[in-house]
């Protein structure tokens, strides 16, 4: 099967967490399709977003993992189409999105 003939994946979960806001500062949510943090510009989820997410999903680890599994899928799609040369490795994205949680 030719990889270029695969259908486009549907959009997954909307990255709306963490929901914590500080005054007029932008939230620590991702800017798509680059998946950089709106607040600090670091690769998302940045350190601040991870802390906020762990607090927000406290006691609901499975929900956090399910949420980030969907975002991992969306990030792979976006980053692959931004850079088809493959500079982003799937295992690095898995560590970035899923394994830390």
Q: Render each residue's pLDDT in the chain as its tens digit; 101 residues.
A: 454 554 444 565 566 666 666 677 888 988 888 889 999 999 999 999 999 999 999 999 999 999 899 899 888 888 888 877 767 788 899 999 999 88
Task: Give the range of the structural domain holding residue 69, as residue numbers without chain letter.
Answer: 27-99
2 assigned to some structural domain? no
10 assigned to some structural domain? no
81 assigned to some structural domain? yes
9 assigned to some structural domain? no
1 assigned to some structural domain? no
CB 30 within 8 A of CB 37: yes
87 assigned to some structural domain? yes
Looking at the chain, which runs of residues are DSSP E strands? 30-31, 36-37
Number of structural domains (the chain) is: 1
89 assigned to some structural domain? yes
41 assigned to some structural domain? yes
């Amino acid at each position: 099967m030719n990889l270029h003939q695969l259908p486009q994946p549907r959009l997954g979960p909307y990255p709306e967490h963490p929901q914590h806001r500080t005054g007029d500062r932008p939230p620590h949510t991702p800017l798509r399709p680059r998946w950089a943090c709106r607040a600090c510009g670091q690769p998302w989820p940045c350190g601040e977003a991870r802390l906020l997410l762990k607090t927000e999903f406290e006691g609901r680890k499975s929900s956090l993992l399910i949420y980030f599994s969907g975002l991992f899928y969306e990030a792979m799609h976006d980053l692959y189409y931004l850079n088809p040369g493959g500079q982003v490795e799937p295992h690095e994205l898995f560590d970035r999105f899923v394994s830390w949680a």
